[in-house]
Structure 1
Amino acid sequence: MSDKHYDITIVGGGLIGISLACALRGSGLSIALIEAGNLSKDKAMQAPDHYDDRVIALAYGSRLIYEKMGLWSALEPASTAIKDIHISDRGHFSFCRLHSHEVGVAALGYVIAARAIGVGLLPAVNADIYSPAQAGKLQIQPDYVELPVINRENAEKHTIQTRLLVAADGGQSAIARQLNIDMDSYEYGQTAVIANVTLGLPHHNQAYERFTNTGPMALLPRNEQEAALVWTVGSEQAKPLLDLSEREFLAILQQRFGWRQGKFLQVGQRSAFPLVRSQARESFRQRVVVIGNAAHSMHPAAGQGLNLGLRDVAALAQLLQQAQKNATDVGANSLLKAYDRARSRDQDHIMSLTDALVRVFSNEQPLLTVGRNLGLLALSHLPPLKRLFIRHTAGLMGSGLR
């Protein structure tokens, strides 16, 4: 067993964890990154095996965060720009189109596989990587956190002492559980069915958000005539959809989505995951901070999950870099309180907005149906309101950037 000392230790080598490590490169801070899966910079171009083929909708604000890190050029070739979003309510007359040029940006967002983000970011990580490894029981001292780290392949053990521990270990965070941080959680009773589909017509960089009585259906542009489908259904409907033949699945998809993109020609492998909202009641404890999905996870209706986490990364990195520049303690309670103040409003707002969208657009009560259709009409015909909504959609509010 050997002892290691770091300024920052990040538990979780997913997209949020490695994004924070990238944001802190060149800061002069010593960093450790602990990941339960296999994470090797030597194999980066083969794609880290714990990243999957999930498709991510990166908001334009997230592009700005990666640009500030100097890493957007590594991600852009694997991405497809979203220049317009078509929003509609199935079975009703109203719809709204959002255009990137209305707020003066090149795109509202970008569609990219999680695996491609990992491949693009991992070579830029400047940290000691412990992988595949498990973090053990924390011992919190006044000036540091001590934790054992065990390699899951060869059982090699290290004891790490760190001035700040960052929990970026995703939903059901083991670090948050160790600290008995309470989570406010809600199960929607919905499941997202995801797949890649081939379209009959070019998408022209337009995404679709179609609200139905079972939940929202998103179609995100990829390549010229391909799209990523995120189809929210009642949990009891998910398995039957997965079990359908390709022909049967495409027929139901066509009936639910319509013909705006012509005939759906093919569907790739389908998978599903249950939808749960959860939010930590505390974002930090002494010398420990919780970020990304470890602190908040939400319904994919507004496509804000990873984008919200990246704004956590931007705000925390900015505070840590300033502390290092001023030669102050990166794990000080005052810094963690400043982080909480910087992020709590944005987190609460996005969580509440996403939850409201799901509840309003999944409800077929007549008054709500009329109200939401009037809302879509108002969004189309009131430019100031529309621009504000577009800025939220593009992740240009509360980015944590200066």
Structure 2
Amino acid sequence: MPVLPPNSPAPESSAATGSSGQPRPGLHDVLIVGGGLVGASLAIALERIGLDVGLIEAAPAGALPAVFDERNLSFAEATVNALTALGVLQKLRAPSGAIERIHISRRGDFGRSLLEARRYGRSEFGRVVVARDFGEALEARLAELPRLSRYRPTRFLGLAPTDGAACAVRVADGGAGSDGGERVLRAQLLVAADGTRSGVRDALGIGIDEHDYGQTLFVTRVRAARPPDGTAYERLGDEGPTALLPRGDRHYGLIHAVASEHAAQVAALDEAGFLARAQDAFGWRAGRFLGCGPRSSHPAIRVLAQRTVAARAVLMGNAAQTIHPIGAQGFNLGLRDALTLAELIEHARRADPGADCGAPALLAAYVERRREDRERTTGFSDGLARLSSNEARLLRPLRSLGLFAVDRLPSAQSFLVGGAMGYRGDVPALCREMAR
């Protein structure tokens, strides 16, 4: 099994190429496993500050990872700021939708809460982007990075022995089922951005805390009698939330939660049957649902890594925390993971151009800076998911009182708005760049 020594050229069979198509060295400052939303964003942020970055991707050149599908991503203002600063949102070819207000209600409970961006001196809280469109924008930006080494399609196999001066990973060229040759890549720092069922996390021996919410989330786009007007709706119910997000193509992004025991039955419904069920759960604030696109479904399971760092390794995005989509905070939280790491490395390299990207002090600083945001965001998402879907009669007046209070008390609104806009804890500078 060949090992690429420091600063040696990659073999001609290497899957690592920069934008010029030329092979790149196998020793990197940072090696990222996972080319999805967070991994690709991190690669852009790190290459932007002059690092030698390797990106291990399961998808072949010319194909997007499976995560870039018809799902609808809600980008908080902090995320919009950062992705604009990174030159990604400028690459969007399809229009995004502005979130100018957020309407929260619960079926069977009185009261509702309405958050309006203009009351906080903003034109919008964030934007809605289709995952496929975002994937294409990320790909266009990645193609512009001259120093980035992309290993694709390449599979992470496990860790290799190392002397501690670098991390070493075993990879194989080619997709699943291929017999591509196995080799070892080395870097100062390994980043696991390979999703909820992270192979890197398992290889590092990091355990997880897991909770199944007993819900399956159906995702699609919906055409309604009333086109989007900038309102994002969160309609809570006994089986979970039904959300409508204002897309930029005059459709809504729909997320409809059903009890997992009903998922197969709902998946078998024709378009008319599915629309009727979603309409019953959501109500008529957007008028009649007239049609929907292809549907996909995903289990609602919270997975929290018990640690987010190990020796010369960091977990981020869904590998570190996969949370319930209520409140739409998953990718926003993962991006702040990525940008915090990039910022810490940038500061270290400014002070010392030879600074070690995987130094224990740097990783300890990362954990400390991410602590408040991670704990508050995951706790808020979990608490809201459990409380909002609890059928207990005694909770109904408390929930209604809560909605009423949020609608009337500025302090309660400010707490929700700050989180919705991505400003929890020690936020990376790029997230605030356009908010200054």
Give the TM-score range, shorter chain.
Answer: over 0.9
Q: Secondary structure at the match of 2:47?
A: coil
TM-score (norm: length of structure 1): 0.94
Q: Show the counterpart of 1:162.
A: 187
Q: Show the counterpart of 1:256.
A: 281
Query: How far apart, CA to CA, are the structure 2 residues paired with 1:284 and 1:48?
Result: 25
Q: Show the counterpart of 1:202.
A: 227
Q: Secondary structure at the match of 2:241?
A: strand
Identity %: 37
Query: How far apart, CA to CA, are the structure 2 residues paired with 1:375 and 1:228?
Result: 26
1:329 to 351, 356, 360: 356
Instruction: For residue 231 of structure 1, report the CA deviation from its aligned partner.
Output: 0.7
Instruction: Give 1 or 2: higher helix fraction.
Output: 1
Instruction: For residue 219 of structure 1, report the CA deviation from its aligned partner.
Output: 0.7
* Contact kept? 1:201, 1:225, Cα under 8 Å: no
Q: Show the counterpart of 2:15.
A: none
Question: Does 1:98 find its partner at 2:98?
Answer: no
Q: Secondary structure at the match of 1:78?
A: coil
2:420 to 390, 393, 398: 393
Query: How far apart, CA to CA, are the structure 2 residues paired with 1:123 and 1:197?
Result: 28
Classify 1:298/1:286 alpha carbon distance in 2 versus 1 (closer, same or farther; 3 Å). Answer: same
Query: How far apart, CA to CA, are the structure 1 residues paired with 2:363 and 2:29?
Result: 15
* Contact kept? 2:372, 2:426, Cα under 8 Å: no
Q: Secondary structure at the match of 1:209?
A: strand
Question: Does 1:68 find its partner at 2:68?
Answer: no
Q: Show the counterpart of 2:152.
A: 131
1:141 to 158, 163, 166: 163
2:387 corresponds to which letter in structure 1? V
Instruction: For residue 136 of structure 1, report the CA deviation from its aligned partner.
Output: 2.5
Q: Show the counterpart of 2:103.
A: 86
Q: Secondary structure at the match of 1:207?
A: strand
* Contact kept? 1:311, 1:398, Cα under 8 Å: no
Q: Show the counterpart of 2:410.
A: 383
Classify 1:337/1:76 alpha carbon distance in 2 versus 1 (closer, same or farther; 3 Å). Answer: farther
Map 1:250-289 → 2, pairs under 5 A: 250-289=275-314
Query: How far apart, CA to CA, are the structure 2 residues paired with 1:134 and 1:23?
Result: 23
Q: Secondary structure at the match of 2:194?
A: coil
Q: Secondary structure at the match of 1:321?
A: helix
Query: How far apart, CA to CA, are the structure 1 residues paired with 2:345 and 2:286?
Result: 46
Q: Which consecutive unaligned segments of at least 5 residues does structure 2 have? A: 5-25, 430-436
1:32 corresponds to which letter in structure 2? G
Question: Does 1:33 find its partner at 2:33?
Answer: no
* 1:268-290 superposed Cα distances (whole Å, 9 cap, x missing partner): 22221111111111111110111
Query: How far apart, CA to CA, are the structure 2 residues paired with 1:26 and 1:357?
Result: 37
Classify 1:71/1:250 alpha carbon distance in 2 versus 1 (closer, same or farther; 3 Å). Answer: closer
Q: Show the counterpart of 2:201.
A: 176
Question: Does 1:217 find its partner at 2:242?
Answer: yes
Classify 1:300/1:26 alpha carbon distance in 2 versus 1 (closer, same or farther; 3 Å). Answer: closer
Question: Does 1:23 find its partner at 2:45?
Answer: yes
Query: How far apart, CA to CA, are the structure 1 residues paired with 2:248 and 2:49?
Result: 37
* Contact kept? 2:67, 2:131, Cα under 8 Å: no
1:305 corresponds to which letter in structure 2? G
1:348 to 366, 369, 375: 375
1:88 corresponds to which letter in structure 2? S
* Contact kept? 1:314, 1:399, Cα under 8 Å: no
Query: How far apart, CA to CA, are the structure 2 residues paired with 1:109 and 1:85?
Result: 11
1:370 to 363, 381, 397: 397
Question: Does 1:228 find its partner at 2:249?
Answer: no
1:5 corresponds to which letter in structure 2? L
Instruction: For residue 344 of structure 1, report the CA deviation from its aligned partner.
Output: 1.6
Instruction: For residue 100 of structure 1, report the CA deviation from its aligned partner.
Output: 1.2
Q: Show the counterpart of 2:75.
A: 58
1:113 to 130, 133, 152: 130
* Contact kept? 1:363, 1:369, Cα under 8 Å: no
Instruction: For residue 172 of structure 1, report the CA deviation from its aligned partner.
Output: 1.1
* Contact kept? 2:101, 2:232, Cα under 8 Å: yes
* Contact kept? 1:37, 1:132, Cα under 8 Å: yes
Query: How far apart, CA to CA, are the structure 2 residues paired with 1:260 and 1:121?
Result: 34
Q: Secondary structure at the match of 2:394?
A: helix
* Contact kept? 1:307, 1:395, Cα under 8 Å: yes
